[in-house]
Amino acid sequence: MNIIQKISRGIIKISFDTSVLTIEYFNKMDRYHKQVDDLRKLENGTLGKEIANCLDDHKLTLVPNYESHDLKHLLLDYKMTAEDEIRMQAFMIGNGNYSIPSFTIFFFGAILLPDLWTTFYSDFEKGRQTVPISNWTINDFANRPIRELRNELAQPIRQKINLIDMKRLTQLVAMATVFAGVFGMLFCLPFLFSSNMADLFGAGFPFVGGAILFVGGLLTLSNLTKEKNKSQQVTSATANAG
């Protein structure tokens, strides 16, 4: 590994560590520490116990609002390293997890780790060929043997991800709109500080257009998330009633 590759991986690690510390700083961590304590009490070989062991080995705890993140690390056997983090996001995108965090982390890592692009593609393809797991949670699967769960994911008969349904298409378009808006604003930003009026007018309108695209994409993603949460609440209520 050359010096540039080492620096790139170091940048990714520092970025991840800083993000986690920031999230923890603005959240009350007591319940997450308790959740890890509960996982430690589970039987050896269960997914929950393995998650607790992994967190203890790395002196980490569950991250608020990202608890299932560690589930996927253990279940998919991706290590807690910079490159494996990006590999896992490539897998999850292939698996149908079209979320802003997944795309952001993946593109950030892909830019810094071009030497792994072939590996990322292989992980993406692997995700496409695996049962969708983006909605799996620790609460649902903590007591299941991890070997049993991995065997289920390795079954040749799988549920194919329908990439051409309207919700997924809308989600992809919204993502593209957000990134296009950000790119447009960043591209126009330097010209807004120019003393030349032609530059100001020429960059001002595209900048506003980029801002509109960015906000519109975020609103669309927000509405899709709300619909998804409502659907899950209805499903959960129906199951509890039954």
* DSSP symbol at 142: T
pLDDT band at residue 163 under the 50/70/90 scheme: very low
Mean pLDDT, residues 64-85 taken together: 91
Gap between the Cα atoms of 194 and 199, Å rounded: 6
pLDDT band, very low/low/confident/very high, at 201 (cuts 50, 70, 90): low
Map residue 195 onto helix, strand or coil.
coil
Which pLDDT value is given to residue 158? 44
Reported in sequence order, the residue ranges of 123-164 that DSSP labels E, i.e. its strands, are none
Q: Quote the radius of gyration of the chain (alpha carbons, Å).
A: 21
Instruction: Decide if pLDDT at 232 tops 70.
Output: no
230 CB-near residues (< 8 Å, 6+ apart): none
Q: Please report the pLDDT score of residue 110 as a whole number.
A: 85
Per-chain mean pLDDT for the chain: 82
Task: Say what the pTM is.
Answer: 0.67
